[in-house]
Chains A and B, each alone.
Chain A
Amino acid sequence: MTRLKRICINLSLVALLVLPAQASADDDLVIDIIGGIEGATPIAVVPFQRADGVEPETEIAPIITANLVRTGRFDILPEDDLVDTPGRLEDVRFSTWRAQGVDHLVVGGIDDAGDGRYEIRFELLDAFQGQRTDGRRYRTEERHLRTLAHNISDRIYEAITDREGTFTKQIAYVAVEQREDGDGRRHRLVVADSDGHRPQTILTSDEPLLSPAWSPSRDRLAYVSFEGRRSEIFIQDIRTGERDRVASFRGINSAPAWSPDGEQLAVTLSRDGAANIYLIDVASGDVRPVTDHWAIDTEATWSPDGEWLYFTSDRGGRPQIYRTTPDGSETERVTYEGPYNARPSISPDGERMAMVHQHDGQYYIALQDLETEAVQIISDGPADESPSFAPNGDLVIYTAGGTEGQRLATASIIGGAVAPLDSTEQPNTRVREPAW
């Protein structure tokens, strides 16, 4: 991967240069992009102009920039190279931006709307046409400015790529840290913004938590908890916190995966002996076997059309990915490249599969084209795991593991951009098992 280009933007530095009086909450925000960005759309995101005396804590432009950079589809003009900082269409000299090779320009402003509220305006401008592609005005409070920045990011992404934006969709993950009293570890199930900010812990346990999975309606999470000193599957309502224990059989109860219609959970149970895939009807709790094999069958995930369950099995000696129909009648092997492929995740368009892939003794996230079977490594290793597609399929979020612990990262399916997710968790906290 010699042709890769490394760009490092220290946004906090830029923010301090532009707005020296502001103590930003994002002082530690560093975006480190590794990957080719050939064919990426050149764009400039100009810091939003602030009216006199308006000093919100949240900076909108850096959030938009971070979101766009992460997708690998944009070549962002570094803030140091901004020759001008216009706040509205009327103030833009398009020739200047064209000379810098910028196709699109994001400008905006923030003003006092009274009653502690702000008025925020953004415009997406086409540098070649010299026109406004999109523009909008919002009134909101400080606490909603991050959500608004994600909302604007979605609009920009949709306007330029003609693809669904998913920056407003939250992620879930598991955070693990040593307890303050030194007695064991604390595990937290967390829901956060897609950029890792504003984490909300929805469950804390001294025992392991793993495998959170969003329901298709995104109001519930299924996950595995060891609170009962063994693995059990729960479904928890995000808003009310209410939860149901849906699987607590003898042996393993794990790896929940929602069917596309949200009516069934594919799970791994070992109640009848070996670990096999089963379906649980969420409403009735009825359990039906899918696979029946002496080997380990686990980590089931659905194809978006609901016609296949992809899963990990070591029935061939080493873990590889197979697929079966939900009635278990038809099963075939899917992966052949490399000695270890596991934890499949299928893209929303059903064309690609992300998986944990072993290469030269290290573990990476790889994509397999489900038609051509071509395999491409998209992460940096050496101990990456738990890939999960963004709801629009343009990014894969995963656990980047190595000697520095575990944190979340995203890899773009085009351009190969890899970016660690900014996290407000403590540096020694292990952040893993993301679901988007």
Chain B
Amino acid sequence: MIARSHQDPLRPLRTLGLAASLALLVGCAHWIEDPDAAPDEAAEDTEIETEDFDPTETEALDDPEDAEEERLERARAEGLDPDDPLDAAVLDEPDSPLATRRVHFAFDSSDIRDDDIPILEAHAEFLREHPDERMTIEGHTDERGSREYNLALGERRAEAVERLLRANGARSDQLEVVSYGEEDPLVDESNEDAWAENRRAELLYD
């Protein structure tokens, strides 16, 4: 059998609960259909049904992480570090749109540029396919204008990215929005090129 992941300590309990419920249901159905059946017989039936819903078996059948597990095995087979989640390998593929973790904005604008939409769609798809992945979206502005207004503008940019990711299938609980306004410039200079670089949203996988 495939090695078990114990990331969710409650899973065995929940599965056991499900099994017990189903067993009870089956038991009841039997009792309704055959009210005259001997109590011992019913108990025997229940025991058999319980064994059919063995927690280990149930988990093995239902566990979505098995697919993940198989991909990890493949990664090991391909010589990748087994401790490094395969996701990282996918994310680091240089030709993938996922390798781009930064989108830029026009002055005082939070509109996503057309060129950046395929990039964000790719990230949304990745997040959809990797429900355990989390992303922090940092919004940034250039240095011009007032700092507090820029803090709010940075949030508006990060939220524009978040909306597009959600519209394309990422869950809101996978996404966190933080604005740094103009406080964390990428290029610490005062010129048009620097400002264009600094007006950005950063996509940071946790």
Chain A residues in the interface with B (C-beta under 8 A): 208, 210-211, 226, 229-231, 251-252, 254-255, 268, 270, 275, 296, 298-299, 312, 314, 318-319, 340, 342-343, 356, 358, 363, 383, 385-386, 401-403, 433
Contact = CB atoms under 8 A, between A and B. Distances in A.
A382 to B, nearest CB: 9
A10 B148 CA distance: 36
A319 B145 contact: yes
A235 B145 CA distance: 26
Contact of A210 (B108, B147, B178, B190): B147
Nearest to A229: B178
A211 B147 contact: yes
A270 B152 contact: yes
- Main secondary structure, interface of B, reads mixed
Contacts of A383: 143-144, 190
B152 A252 contact: yes
Given A252-B152, A252-B155, A254-B151, A299 B178 contact: no
B123 interface: no
Contact of B148 (A210, A314, A318): A210
28 contacts: A208-B180, A210-B147, A210-B148, A211-B148, A226-B183, A251-B155, A251-B177, A252-B155, A268-B151, A296-B153, A296-B156, A298-B148, A298-B151, A298-B152, A312-B148, A319-B108, A319-B145, A319-B146, A319-B149, A340-B145, A342-B149, A343-B149, A358-B145, A383-B143, A383-B190, A385-B147, A401-B143, A402-B190
A268 B145 contact: no
Interface string B39-73: 00000000000000000000000000000000000
Contacts of A343: 146-149
B46 to A, nearest CB: 48
Interface string B146-185: 1111011101100000000000000000000111100110
A231 B145 CA distance: 19
A386 B183 contact: no
B183 A210 contact: yes
For the complex of A and B, list the 5 residue pairs with the smallest distance between their C-beta atoms, beginning with the closest.
A208-B183, A275-B152, A343-B146, A342-B146, A296-B152
B148, B155, B179: most-surrounded residue (chain A CB, <10 A): B148
Given A298-B148, A356-B146, 4 more contacts: A208-B180, A211-B148, A312-B146, A314-B149
Contacts of A254: 148, 151-152
B148 A356 contact: no
Contacts of A298: 148-149, 151-152
